[in-house]
């Protein structure tokens, strides 16, 4: 199967073909273990376990921890303080992702018969379309170290805030503007893109907006096909793709 690097991807936020210059490095000196900077976050590192769209632990995840560049972690601390004042905590699914993990995703996507997790993450799709429909690609913004996937945990209910959809769902239901206008925060209830006619409620849409607005207030930009995915606007390594594994780093900053 031929794999084309595409402009945008539900899983990867790929660069365009004109921006394929890749500077790989093992240098982790500008990264921190996220909990050293933002101790209030909750970690559920999906790619360290088997509950993910692949169904296996992903290559490069040696420990169930989250890493970010120092500047991204500092900005996320401001987000954490913001949402905690509203009664929430940040819950992290993924942060820095080594290139070998992205390579693992590509190998999995090419293995079309492996559909173990289809019912949980892509029930409306035939796996053979994942490249053509831009769900999997050769590079990911996560590998540059200033992108993360997250949700909100409600401290009153002691449950995740209901976002009307699961992390890593392959489909239009994951789009921030699903059933509403993500720029204005207006819920419309209208979306004709869902192949099964799914909808989310006004409350679920509003919950997505709480996360989106808090992230944007503190320097992160959203991604137009994933409500959970954000990148630091002024990321320090826009052209560098890191290769060191995910594991605890020294706390020295």
Note whether 131 and 105 are within 8 A (CB).
no
Q: Residues 228, 232, 236, 240: is their CA dihedral positive or negative?
A: positive
Cα 66 vs. chain centroid, distance in angstroms? 12
CA distance 90 to 41: 5
Q: Round to whole Å and give the CA distance between 83 and 157.
A: 15
Angle in degrees, 0-180, between the axes of helices 70-85 and 202-217, rounded to the nearest 10: 130
Distance CA 186, CA 218 (A): 21
Q: How far is CA 218 from CA 71, 81, 160, 214, in A?
A: 12, 11, 22, 7
Phi and psi at 120, nearest 5°, equal -90, -30
Q: How far apart are CA 52 and CA 41, in angstroms?
A: 20
Among candidate residues 134, 160, 226, 235, the one labeled active-site is: 226
63 is a catalytic site residue = no
CB 179 within 8 A of CB 194: no
Q: Which residues are catalytic?
A: 226
């Amino acid at each position: 199967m031929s794999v084309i690097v595409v402009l945008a991807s539900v899983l990867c936020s790929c660069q365009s073909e004109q921006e394929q210059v890749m500077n790989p490095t093992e240098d982790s000196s500008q990264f921190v273990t996220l909990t050293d900077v933002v101790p209030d976050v909750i970690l559920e590192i999906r790619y360290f376990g088997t509950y993910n769209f692949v169904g296996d632990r992903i290559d490069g995840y040696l420990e169930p921890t989250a890493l970010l560049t120092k500047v991204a972690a500092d900005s996320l601390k401001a987000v954490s303080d913001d949402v905690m004042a509203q009664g929430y905590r940040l819950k992290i699914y993924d942060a820095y992702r080594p290139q070998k993990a992205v390579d693992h995703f590509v190998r999995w996507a090419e293995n079309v018969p492996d559909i173990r997790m289809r019912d949980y993450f892509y029930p409306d799709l035939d796996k053979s379309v994942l490249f053509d429909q831009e769900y999997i690609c050769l590079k990911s913004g996560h590998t540059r170290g200033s992108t993360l996937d997250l949700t909100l945990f409600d401290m009153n209910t002691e449950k995740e805030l209901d976002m009307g959809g699961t992390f890593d769902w392959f489909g239009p239901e994951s789009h921030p503007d699903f059933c509403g206008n993500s720029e204005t925060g207006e819920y419309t209830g209208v979306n004709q893109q869902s192949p099964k006619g799914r909808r989310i409620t006004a409350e679920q849409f509003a919950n997505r907006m709480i996360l989106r607005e808090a992230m944007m207030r503190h320097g992160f930009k959203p991604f137009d096909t994933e409500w959970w995915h954000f990148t630091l606007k002024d990321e320090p390594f826009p052209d560098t793709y890191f290769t060191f594994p995910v594991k605890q780093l020294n706390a020295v900053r």
